[in-house]
Amino acid sequence: NAGVTQTPKFRILKIGQSMTLQCTQDMNHNYMYWYRQDPGMGLKLIYYSVGAGITDKGEVPNGYNVSRSTTEDFPLRLELAAPSQTSVYFCASSYSRGGLGGFGPGTRLTVL
Amino acid sequence: DQQVKQNSPSLSVQEGRISILNCDYTNSMFDYFLWYKKYPAEGPTFLISISSIKDKNEDGRFTVFLNKSAKHLSLHIVPSQPGDSAVYFCAASVSGANNLFFGTGTRLTVIP
């Protein structure tokens, strides 16, 4: 099992650009999550999904969108990148609520 | 508003000695607590958890203690090994909720 994989590992965006962060898990987990970690801070939940076709907002959803068309994939979309979105983004999956499963290795995003 | 706090950003311990990492929380509704370990350029990995119905949970060298009246938990690692050097995050949740609230992390360095 590859677990949770994320692409890309690094990305630099200009203000106003858009991009999609990819997340795939091969553990057949229903629950998937996107967290962001700002320097010196804890992880904060952006969006989560409890199954294909079902998504909901977390603590810091503004500026992001998600979709969940399959069990395996949970992409995170940034429509108009802003410097405040400079962060490390982690995707996670779990067989139950709360993110007890695995985290991906993260995507380090810089918006200039 | 940081609901989960780790007030020590770093800790250094000699190999073989005990490492004690501390975590405080403010939300009395939290009833499930987790510790994650994170190496550089990797996602967090689950280490150990505890439910609020217990005050201690042990798994090998790792023990988590929960003091509900003080809203405090701690992770004990005995004996500490150089491979334990990592950033440790405390997280908390409310049963039935999808969000984990993370602390800011403590960087543990185990000196050989």
B17 C-beta neighbours (distance < 10 Å), count? 13
pLDDT tier, A99 (very low <50, low <70, confident <90, very high otherwise): low
Interface residue A44 vs chain B (CB under 8 A): yes
Query: Over 70: is that where the pLDDT of A100 sits?
Result: no
pLDDT tens-digit series, residues A11-33: 999 999 999 999 999 999 999 99
pLDDT tens-digit series, residues A28-67: 999 999 999 998 888 999 999 999 999 999 999 999 999 9
* % helix, strand, coil for chain B, step of 5: 5, 55, 45
Question: What are phi and psi for residue A85, nearest 5 degrees?
Answer: -90, 5
Residues whose CB falls within 8 Å of the CB of residue A70, separated by 6 or more in sequence, listed in order = A52
Domain that holds residue A75: 4-111
Q: Which of left, alpha, beta for A61 (phi over 0: left; psi -120 to 50: alpha)?
A: alpha
- The residue that leads in pLDDT, B71 or A95, is B71
CATH number at residue A96: 2.60.40.10
Proportion of chain B above pLDDT 70, given as a percent: 100
Total structural domains within chain A: 1
- pLDDT value, residue A95: 83
Total structural domains within chain B: 1
Q: How wide is the angle at C-alpha A4 spanned by C-alphas A22 and B2, nearest 5°?
A: 85
* Chain B neighbors of A29, CB-CB under 8 A: none
Domain that holds residue B19: 4-111
Query: Over 80: is that where the pLDDT of B38 sits?
Result: yes
As to burial, measured by CB atoms within 10 angstroms (0-12 exposed, 13-18 middle, 19+ buried), residue A65 is middle
Under an 8 Å CB criterion, which residues of B touch A? 2, 4, 32, 34, 36, 41-46, 49, 89, 91, 93, 96-105
CATH number at residue B77: 2.60.40.10
Short-list A37, A38, A5, CA closest to A21: A5
A-B CB pairs within 8 A amount to 64
Short-list B52, B45, B87, CA closest to B73: B52
- pLDDT value, residue A40: 83
Interface residue A103 vs chain B (CB under 8 A): yes
Which range has the worst mean pLDDT, A76-80, B49-53, B72-76, B93-97? B93-97
